[in-house]
Amino acid sequence: MNAHPSFAATLLATLRVYQWPKNLLVFAALLFAQQMFHAHMVLESLGAFVALCAASSAVYIFNDLKDMESDRAHPEKRNRPLASGEIGTGAAVVLMLVLLVCSVLGSYLLRPAFCGAVVFYLLLMLTYTIALKKIMFVDVLVIAIGFVFRAIAGAIVLDVAFSNWLAVCTLFLALFLGLGKRRCEIEVLEAEAAAHRDVLREYTVHHLDSLLTIMAACTLLTYTIYTCSPEVVHRLGTDKLYVTLPFVVYGLFRYLHLIHHKNGGGDPSRTLLKDGPLALTVALWGVACTVIIYGGMWRYE
């Protein structure tokens, strides 16, 4: 007989803590605005990260409450705390409301403009859960906008500029990940896909493969333009950011390999955490960016 999961494990699963790495995008502004060695900026970014984690967890709970019945018919989602009955709906609602209050109040204390951004994110994601996720292409676009929001929110809380090219690159990368998730859902659920998520009846694996190729190309192209943009070179004081391109190329190729040959991509956060080569690539990319942006030997002459 299987032991019941501990309270801590149930709480972590309900909050979907494994999804929190998505909110690390909030630190992009800290890195690329060259503010990593300013303690108050680091603390503000950490505060923004916590506020976004609370907001995203509240949205996940709302989604699980709404989709509880359909999740019980899903081979993986039926193990979620609400769908499996490990946590009651009343307790989940209370937890969701506490998270909402904490995220909004905390973000306001950080910066009112950041609070406005968090409220926009909450409204967008709640609208997605209720209606937008049923519309073909809009479903992945909204998720992608959520990723871009995380990156821009990091700049808002620090009151620094954020490159338009980097925002566009983030959008394309998020679309790439979102389309990969849809493809995996169709592969795993097969004939039952449409029963679980109505919009999946509109997609086909062949169509998604074409879109994935386009989004991978767009991501690589826009990141290349970002690294070589005169405005970015002038602001960062280095023209060597293009050196990080091999990490981006390998990361995209590796993810496509996981999608096509390992049935991966169903959950980008879990894929990143479980796949060693991909996780190492992201880590090395981050280290390379830090060294180039902050290392005096890379200064632009």
pLDDT digits (tens, 9 = 90+) for 166-199: 999 999 999 999 999 888 888 876 656 555 677 8
Is the distance from CB of 287 to CB of 297 less than 8 angstroms? no
Give CA separation, 250 vs 117, 208, 218, 253, 271, in Å.
33, 21, 15, 5, 15
pLDDT digits (tens, 9 = 90+) for 29-78: 998 888 888 999 999 999 999 999 999 999 999 999 988 877 787 777 78
Residue closest to 74 by CA, chosen among 63, 62, 59:
63
5: left (phi over 0), alpha (psi -120 to 50) or beta: beta
The CATH H-level superfamily of 1-162 is UbiA prenyltransferase (1.10.357.140)
Residue closest to 157 by CA, chosen among 100, 115, 200, 206:
115
Tell me: pLDDT of 260 over 50.
yes
In the structure encoding, which two tokens stand for residue 107, read together?
């973000």
3-state secondary structure at position 212: helix
- Report pLDDT for 80: 85
Is the distance from CB of 189 to CB of 196 less than 8 angstroms? yes
Give me the half-sphere count of Cα atoms (radius 13 Å) on the Cβ side of residue 37: 6
Q: How many whole angstroms separate alpha carbon 108 and alpha carbon 101?
A: 11
Tell me: pLDDT of 160 over 60.
yes
Q: How many whole angstroms separate alpha carbon 285 and alpha carbon 301?
A: 24
In the structure encoding, which two tokens stand for residue 90, read together?
């009343």
pTM (2 decimals)? Answer: 0.85
Tell me: pLDDT of 297 over 70.
no
pLDDT digits (tens, 9 = 90+) for 112-121: 999 999 999 9
pLDDT band for position 277 (cuts 50, 70, 90): very high
Tell me: pLDDT of 28 over 50.
yes
- Report pLDDT for 90: 93
Is the distance from CB of 84 to CB of 193 less than 8 angstroms? no
Task: For the chain, state the CA radius of gyration.
Answer: 20
- Report pLDDT for 191: 58
- The residue assigned the tokens 């040959």 is 261
3-state secondary structure at position 105: helix
Tell me which of 93 and 265 has the higher pLDDT.
93
pLDDT digits (tens, 9 = 90+) for 1-17: 345 668 888 888 899 99
Q: How many whole angstroms separate alpha carbon 153 and alpha carbon 47?
A: 12
- Report pLDDT for 198: 74
pLDDT digits (tens, 9 = 90+) for 106-151: 999 999 999 999 999 999 999 998 989 889 999 999 999 999 999 9
- Report pLDDT for 1: 38
Tell me: pLDDT of 91 over 60.
yes
- Report pLDDT for 58: 95
The ranges assigned to domains in the chain are: 1-162, 163-301
- Report pLDDT for 77: 77
pLDDT band for position 296 (cuts 50, 70, 90): low
pLDDT digits (tens, 9 = 90+) for 204-242: 889 999 999 999 999 999 999 999 999 888 888 889 999
